[in-house]
Amino acid sequence: MIINCVTSKIQMAYKHTQHGGDHEVACVNSTSDMIISALPSQRGWTTSELKQFQGFWLDDWVMPGVLSLQEKFCGKSDHVVLTSSPKSGTTWLKALLFSITNRSSYKFDDAVDDGNPLLSRNPHVSVPYIDFNATEHLDDPNPDLSLLSTHLPYSLLPKSMIESGCRFVHVMREPKDLFISLWHFAVELRKARDQPTLPLDDAFDMFCNGLSQYGPYWDYELEYWNASLKCPDKFCIMTYEDLMKRPDYNVRKLASFIEKPFTAAEEDEGVVEAIVTFCSFDKLSNLEVNRTKTSSLRKAHVVPNKVLFRKATIGDWKNYLIDKQRERIDQTTYQKFQGTDLLDLLST
């Protein structure tokens, strides 16, 4: 009932903005605030509340952009959209995708100052989030922008994006490691904002109950997996674990998927290896911009870049979870993913 009411109000609000004007904008903002305030709420992992919207939990500060995005975003067939649950390797994938797409412009060599933006700004700037910075992309101020990113569940993506025929690169991560990375991220953000810490056991119960950013995790991954089965030529499904084990292979896979395969000459010149090294955890995490600077996901939501980089390892959950906790996540994963290839994909 709430979902139908919310959808109806969004559609009504935007029908009255076709001719623009400050009054219409104010009406939309007021309507959005009313919609958001009516959504079910729970305590968030950081300083935000989580709002339940169409079956998923989103940070309250994300919601205004999401409502605008669903109605106004104009999808294009040449868009390549990186989708991921938070802490699945998004920052790394953004660097790789940007480098693959723009490799003719840069040498990926520290000895050559060719203005590569990854050396001076975080990868999230080069491949922007449409859900965090929605209003910046609704009117397409940069028509050449082809790489986009989102944490939104598949069912919450703008209809125009799905119908445009664009390509999706989706990366997923084994849930126990993802949870630990997500918890560390929340702890570091709370520390940066002088907020009390989030106990591991509290975060664990929230995660297992589906109360996490863009959660439930299992429903989130099932949506993208099922969508990829319906349109396999439009999806490139990857796992963080396989990227760690076979980076060269996966860089070639990405290049072929976005129709920019490496030439024989590029292979001979070692371009694949150069990109892998340039975008490695050690390289990116030690850049000045990622050690000391911040990224503004939204005007009032600033994140220290250093919290985006932690360990880049597989199996770190073993240092934190007891057997009972491991069993709980594994059992949920089996129950949710039974009958799909996701169990094999995410096994480590």
Least confident range from 94-103, 150-159, 169-178, 186-195: namely: 186-195
pLDDT band at 285 (very low <50, low <70, confident <90, very high): confident
Q: Is pLDDT of 205 > 50?
A: yes
pLDDT at 1: 44
pLDDT at 26: 47
Task: Quote the mean pLDDT of the chain.
Answer: 85
pLDDT band at 136 (very low <50, low <70, confident <90, very high): low
pLDDT at 308: 61
Say if residue 217 is exposed, middle or buried (CB neighbours under 10 Å; 0-12, 13-18, 19+).
buried
Task: Map out the domains of the chain as residue ranges.
Answer: 71-345
pLDDT band at 120 (very low <50, low <70, confident <90, very high): confident
pLDDT at 161: 94
Residues labelled as active-site residues = 151
71-345 has which CATH code?
3.40.50.300
